[in-house]
Amino acid sequence: MNDEFSLRQLLLRPVPEPNFTDSKYVFFPVKYGFNNCLQALQIALLLSLVTKRTLIVNDFPSSHAAAKTGLLSQRIQAGNLFQIQWPIKSVTDVRMGSMSSTLVAIETSSSCGVDLRNVVRRYRSEPAQVLVYDNSWGFWQRLFKRKDHALISKALSTHLDFLPRFHRAALLLQAWLPRHHAAAHIRLGDIRTFPLVNCSSAATSLHTPGLKEMLLRGSSYDKTFFETMSYGLCVRIRPGGCTHVVTYEQVLPGFVRNSSGRSLFISTNQPGAWMIWRVRQILRKLGLRVFTWQHFPKTLRLQALQIAQGRQEGNVTNGQEDAFLVSILEQLLCIYADEFLPSYSSSWSEIVVQHRHSQRRKGAAAQSQMLSERLNLGCPQPRTTSQ
């Protein structure tokens, strides 16, 4: 095969691909939570596109706990979740045990980003029947060089999306919310997350009461002194070396007040947590409207879940609400919102930002850039040229 090729043509190729053969495959195992696996699926799909191989899709765990237990009853077939515009086969339909395989060796520790063109050159003629991407999760923004991020984002939005019934269910819920509203994701529980904000401008642009004064207060620190730490959090370094991390309580008031609808939908895995109650109280005192999943009428919630499950009639699991489906619908609500405040670090929020960026939603381009910078901390930043 000629060494000359167009990465754009490979990633945005038509489906079905002319002269395509399904005798070779790309496979990825699932070991972690749903959104981690979705990120692994994205990378495996990219590998399938550039090597012209069929993608073997695995069943997805409904949660981190389900991934650890390995119970089949807690797994969902990818075909019941996603619309994949590329040849695929279920893992149950392929006898991989009798096939030759090789691990896809793509690492970023030394190179700070892999050139996808080199992946094409290395694996397009690989004789093994199965290419295995065995990291089980990953951020493609960190894995591949930033110069190709826009093209990769377009390729993923072209070839991969949630099934239409999930969109129909989410749109039904969205119609109940105020016409203009913002959304925020607050991840609680297994790890502590913080709002993804621009560290250099948070003190002045959000106009949160008391935040600017707090950040600028200090003897020898009269000027804003934000730093992005190695794990990507915005902090204020105070005299003596003490630090203060910017929290949701400080950022959300200004974020909502500056949004078009002055209303906020909060997506969280712990809606009954004290912190969520505190955030709601802070916002309500400022005259701002706050909604969570529980604010939707129960009949509407069940109707949306029924649509998401593909059921035409009857109650959803006898009136019980599936937290896994709720999470997907909340992600879509955040994608549709006028503005969105992500959690960092959270694969859930990263998926939302990716979709919003591909749809050119407000603020998504800047958030995508922030994620890319923070996921590549310590790597050389691309040079910019003046016009």
Same domain, 265 and 324: yes
Same domain, 18 and 63: yes
Same domain, 94 and 188: no
- CA dist., res. 184 & res. 330, Å (int): 10
Residue 243 within any structural domain of the chain: no
Task: For 243-274, write each residue's pLDDT tens digit.
Answer: 566 788 888 888 888 887 889 999 998 888 89
pLDDT of residue 21: 62
Residue 351 within any structural domain of the chain: yes
Same domain, 253 and 267: yes
Beta strands 88-90; 54-57: pairing state? parallel
The amino acid sitting at 387 is Q
Residue 206 within any structural domain of the chain: no
Same domain, 149 and 190: no
Number of domains observed in the structure of the chain: 2
Q: What range defines the domain where residue 306 resides?
A: 165-197+248-375
Same domain, 76 and 30: yes
- Give the tokens for residue 154: 């377009």
Q: Is the model's pTM score more than 0.85?
A: no
Task: For 300-338, write each residue's pLDDT tens digit.
Answer: 999 999 999 887 544 444 455 788 899 999 999 999 999
The amino acid sitting at 176 is W
Domain stop point among 135, 162, 189: 162
Residue 106 within any structural domain of the chain: yes
Domain stop point among 162, 186, 212: 162
Same domain, 274 and 366: yes
Same domain, 312 and 178: yes
CATH number at residue 11: 3.40.50
DSSP H or E stretch at residue 65: helix 64-69
Residue 326 within any structural domain of the chain: yes
Same domain, 15 and 57: yes
Residue 242 within any structural domain of the chain: no
DSSP 8-state class, residue 178: -
Same domain, 99 and 15: yes
Residue 13 within any structural domain of the chain: yes
Q: Flag whether pLDDT at 171 surpasses 90.
A: yes
